[in-house]
Amino acid sequence: MPLVSPTMSPTESEAEDEQEQFKREGRKDLHLTSKQMLSHNVDTLIPDTEVEAKRNQLPDDLPIVECIARARIPTTQGPEIFLHMYSNNVDKKEHLAIVFGEDIRSRSLFKRRSDDTQSARMTRGAYVGRLYPGRKMADKDERLGLEMHFDTNGDILPDELQIHRDPTLVRIHSECYTGETAWSARCDCGEQFDEAGRLMGQNGHGCIVYLRQEGRGIGLGEKLKAYNLQDLGSDTVQANLLLRHPADKRSYSLATAILLDLGLTDIRLLTNNPDKIIAVEGKKRLVHVTERVPMIPLAWQKRKGIESKEIEGYLRTKIERMGHLLSKPN
């Protein structure tokens, strides 16, 4: 079940007609037009009653997640990342957190276990600082002068000297084989993934939660069928519906649970989707989105980006039918 109901945003003409009716009846506006939607943040985009209605659809309890392993990854673009692999109690998929910054640490990974050894902790990635040949202690890096401390339950304590106090830049990214691996110009998923990494690399701090929910949650095979329906004239929403899927089947409760495990409760969220903000914060708002950071297509910024008739239709559907906060410059 999707975390936010896959209802469609009204088209611009529908929204304007509805507003005219509200004016005639002396009622307050319940919707903004498409043009208004593009210039408002989420706090002014959706009325409080609608936000609460959507929030109430979210599950009461979050999934249980556990970080199984973490490793330092030098990248081809320069910045190093720490790749975290998560298990959970709702599916058998391996969801990931791509972390920029050594000070963002998983509580489940670093927790001391009754049968732990320093070698086992280093092997699974529960170490401070950097690994090097001959290192014996996971909890202390003598070369960098770093040491971890734990409470009586074995939970890691934050290092007050290292803690990053500003809200962390975060991207919740759903897997897209076609856009990230097969060079697809039908969507901007690969571009958004790369751009999020570039921004976090520049900042030296951030997290991409990578969820294994291909094709807005319908899977790769169904997604390819949807592409064929799009070539026959459907938009991305219509294609999903014709295949008897919701317009958007994705869930973000796993992302919320992963952010909490990483201690990321105040975040700046890279997104154009106002529904994602509500979903990531969760029903109990254990995560707080302090700022929405827009993701503007590179081609619209006059930078080298995706240009195709398919991407134009894809973005138009996001704006007109799914309420995404995008405005193409003149």
What residues are labeled active site?
248, 250
Backbone angles phi, psi at 223, to 5 degrees: -65, -40
**Spatial distance between the Cα atoms of 263 and 282, rounded to a whole number of angstroms:** 15
What DSSP letter does each residue of 141-153 carry, written as one string?
ETTTTEE--B-TT
**Spatial distance between the Cα atoms of 304 and 282, rounded to a whole number of angstroms:** 36
User: Measuring CA to CA, which residue among 131, 218, 137 is closest to residue 177?
Assistant: 218
Provide the residue type at 318 as one letter.
K
3-state helix, strand, coil in the chain (%, to 5): 35, 15, 45
Name the H helices within the chain.
12-24, 34-39, 42-45, 48-56, 107-110, 118-124, 177-180, 189-203, 220-231, 236-242, 253-261, 274-281, 309-322
| 281-290, long-range: CB < 8 A, 24+ apart | 281/55, 281/256, 282/58, 282/62, 282/253, 282/256, 283/55, 283/56, 283/58, 283/59, 283/60, 284/60, 285/55, 286/62, 286/256, 286/260, 287/256, 287/259, 287/260, 290/167, 290/266
User: Measuring CA to CA, which residue among 263, 88, 74, 304 is closest to residue 170?
Assistant: 263
Q: Is 74 exposed, middle or buried (0-12, 13-18, 19+ CB in 10 A)?
A: exposed
**Residue 286 DSSP SS3:** coil
**Spatial distance between the Cα atoms of 191 and 171, rounded to a whole number of angstroms:** 13
